[in-house]
Structure 1
Amino acid sequence: MAAPFLSQDELRAAARTVHAVLPPTPQYRWPLLEALVAPRPDDGTALWVKHENHTPVGAFKIRGGLVYFERLLSRGERPAGVVSATRGNHGQSIGFAARRHGIPALIVVPRGNSREKNAAMRALGVELVEHGDDFQAAREHAQALAAERGWLMVPSFHRDLVAGVASYALELFGAVPDLDTVYVPIGLGSGACGLIAARDALGLSTEIVGVVSDGAPAYALSLACGEAVSHAVTTTLADGMAVRTPDADALRLMQAGLARVVLVSDVQIADAMRRLYECTHQVAEGAGAAALAGRIAERTRLAGRRTAVVLTGGNVDRSVYAEILAQ
């Protein structure tokens, strides 16, 4: 048997770094949500929501940034500045961690990016640059700016980012023993890979289901054929999942560690956002609600099972959210 991607010791050290800054986030059972996914009343179906919308930046990504910078500095590396690309939550993570260590951060976002995510990054002291029509174009421009300035390019997928993100999975698996299935949205892949890494390091049998937007199907297509396949992005709601080109390392980990992939539409995601508000009064962004959309889509498949969904973030623009709730 191959060794886990990350050892328990490495994962627990990363979790200590994270928990020195923020407490574990809760995982709750919400009766109305359980009734929504249970094919029959009192059939034993259980559903937990892991609330990553409860972090200081409103999303799970903060965990990865904290560990990435801690490990960078522990190796004696202190860049003059850092550059990265994002649709929002990764950029907030980098901005939050960079500011803690007094390191300038420049973040590139595609044109038309979330106004409120942009504002949140600027509030963290980030220098924000808008470039390109999608994440891939923003990332390529970020790489060029990093080379021009001689600053460190922080990737959106990296072993240290995954180690930090995996701390939410350690919390979930520790709080809820014997989970049958966990649903997690796939953007570039750190959230899914963090779950896989923690599951494997702990020696659990929990199946992990990746949820992909059908308006950003690159990972679904790539996992189906076993190699990276780029695809145009058309989703207007799930910006955190709007990836045109998969990361090769993330793809390999998910190929080995996911049970399956569920495709969901913007219509299904919008419905899940409304359901989360109606049933829990929690705000979820598009990507944050996608795991629930996937669980609802597989409602009859997992009757009587112990399941969880990861609400990865709640950073949705007010105008977008108001329109969705009004539908």
Structure 2
Amino acid sequence: MTAALHDLLPNRTEIETAARTVYAAMQATPQYSWPLLNQALGTELWVKHENHAPTGAFKVRGGLVYMEKLSREQPQLRGVISATRGNHGQSVGLAARRFGVQASIVVPQGNSREKNAAMSALGVSLIEHGKEFQESREHAAQLARERQLHMIPSFHRDLVGGVASYWMELLSAQPDLDVLLVPVGQGSGMCAAVAARNALGLRTSIIGVVSAHALAYKLSFEQRIKLESPVTTLIADGMACRVPDEASLAVMQSQVDEVLAVTDDEVADAMKLYFTATHNVAEGAGAAALAAALQIRGRLRGKKVGVTLSGGNVDHDMFADILRRPAREYADSACSNGGAGDESRLQQRRAA
């Protein structure tokens, strides 16, 4: 690992220390290989079920580690503030309550009602501001200065250390995975996957997944410069990033093989497939890795693949609409569709 990466990513000792903090509050989550998903993809797929975490999403691990260290180092802390579309806010809320710290969370106007309710139930002081996440984050930073609160970022080494504990669980249980597909929001999940793979000395290929309606990380990755891109996704709010984080982008550019984009329709199909094949509920970002695997299933045939069902916090009405969608048929096309067609579509998408 280069010196720059060493500064950004936790090592194995740090991840194992972070894991002890995580396991004081929750158990390890399961990983399963589901027959109907394997049939749809034409390969062996392992799903890491972070939708089984206490807040229904992976981010709780990072929040626990960050807050434990913060409360230990700053015992007179007045309070913390952050911005979120939901899962990060629930993570902060649960961790803040566990360590006796008051938390305020800024969310965009029109944010998920059910995610807002979940945060409020954890004792969070909820503030609505802005039309999208970046505006909420900028407002949270302003309030942090005005109210002398500690601003919790969306990306931080301690957050990555906590999140990496779940990738360590998956990769320790299935060390011979050929490929990991990882959704990208602000990058903590992606960087945690890299940190865990490197800590275990594995050579697993890592592919990032973004929303086709929030392309900042994909464009920045491919053009090797930080670029903003508008956010128009209606379903994958966990990937609704307009401005990439420079640190996580640097990790991606040196450690990730490629970045794929999945449309809202592809994500919705994957959400429905998760339910019909496994009876697990996936939110948009939580189904993105499966959506990407289905998109390139011809290329994945014969490989052992890992994905994360990173969260299951989807509003009832949205999920009901998704379950009413016509079911997609995957098995026949998975058997007949070679890698060339998928690669051609990928190249067309990149050119676009």
What one-letter code is carried by the residue in structure 1 that aligns with 2:205? E
- Structure 2 residue 128 is the aligned partner of structure 1 residue 130: yes
In the alignment, what sits opposite 1:326?
Answer: 324
- Of the candidates 73, 77, 80, which is equivalent to residue 78 of structure 2? 80
In the alignment, what sits opposite 2:143?
Answer: 145
In the TM superposition, what is the alpha-carbon distance from 1:70 to its structure 2 partner?
1.2
**% same residue:** 57
In the alignment, what sits opposite 2:281?
Answer: 283
In the alignment, what sits opposite 1:34?
Answer: 38
Q: How far apart, CA to CA, are the structure 2 residues paired with 1:274 and 1:115?
A: 21
Secondary structure at 2:127's aligned position in 1?
strand
**Number of aligned positions between the proteins:** 321
In the alignment, what sits opposite 2:103?
Answer: 105
In the alignment, what sits opposite 2:17?
Answer: 13
Q: How far apart, CA to CA, are the structure 2 residues paired with 1:314 and 1:257?
A: 27
Equivalent positions of 1:1-327 (< 5 A) are 2=2, 4=6, 5-38=9-42, 45-327=43-325
8 Å CA contact retained: 1:51, 1:311: yes
What one-letter code is carried by the residue in structure 1 that aligns with 2:106? V
What one-letter code is carried by the residue in structure 2 that aligns with 1:259? D
Secondary structure at 1:129's aligned position in 2?
strand
In the TM superposition, what is the alpha-carbon distance from 1:2 to its structure 2 partner?
2.3
Label 1:100 to 1:217 Cα distance change in 2 as closer, same or farther (>3 A). same
What one-letter code is carried by the residue in structure 2 that aligns with 1:33? L
Give the structure with the larger helix fraction.
2
What one-letter code is carried by the residue in structure 1 that aligns with 2:89? G
In the alignment, what sits opposite 1:42?
Answer: none
8 Å CA contact retained: 2:68, 2:99: no
In the TM superposition, what is the alpha-carbon distance from 1:78 to its structure 2 partner?
4.0
Secondary structure at 1:290's aligned position in 2?
helix
Structure 1: 5+ residue stretches without partners: 39-44
8 Å CA contact retained: 1:29, 1:47: yes
8 Å CA contact retained: 1:83, 1:152: yes
TM-score, normalised by the number of residues in structure 1: 0.97
In the TM superposition, what is the alpha-carbon distance from 1:96 to its structure 2 partner?
0.4
Secondary structure at 2:37's aligned position in 1?
helix
Secondary structure at 2:81's aligned position in 1?
strand
8 Å CA contact retained: 1:72, 1:78: no
Ranges of 4+ aligned residues in structure 1 off by more than 4 Å: none
Cα deviation 1:15-60 (Å, max 9, x = unaligned): 111011101000000000000000xxxxxx2101000000110000
In the TM superposition, what is the alpha-carbon distance from 1:313 to its structure 2 partner?
0.1
In the TM superposition, what is the alpha-carbon distance from 1:259 to its structure 2 partner?
1.1
What one-letter code is carried by the residue in structure 2 that aligns with 1:161? L
In the TM superposition, what is the alpha-carbon distance from 1:298 to its structure 2 partner?
1.0
Q: How far apart, CA to CA, are the structure 1 residues paired with 2:149 and 2:321?
A: 40
Q: How far apart, CA to CA, are the structure 1 residues paired with 2:170 and 2:242?
A: 30
In the TM superposition, what is the alpha-carbon distance from 1:320 to its structure 2 partner?
0.4
What one-letter code is carried by the residue in structure 1 that aligns with 2:10? L
In the TM superposition, what is the alpha-carbon distance from 1:76 to its structure 2 partner?
4.0
TM-score, normalised by the number of residues in structure 2: 0.90
What one-letter code is carried by the residue in structure 2 that aligns with 1:178? D
Secondary structure at 2:305's aligned position in 1?
strand
Q: How far apart, CA to CA, are the structure 1 residues paired with 2:288 and 2:55?
A: 19
Q: How far apart, CA to CA, are the structure 2 residues paired with 1:301 and 1:11?
A: 32
8 Å CA contact retained: 2:71, 2:77: no
Cα deviation 1:101-122 (Å, max 9, x = unaligned): 1111000000010000000000
In the TM superposition, what is the alpha-carbon distance from 1:77 to its structure 2 partner?
4.6
Q: How far apart, CA to CA, are the structure 2 residues paired with 1:13 and 1:66?
A: 12
What one-letter code is carried by the residue in structure 2 that aligns with 1:58? G
Secondary structure at 2:142's aligned position in 1?
helix
Cα deviation 1:124-178 (Å, max 9, x = unaligned): 0000010000000000000111111101011011010000000000000111121
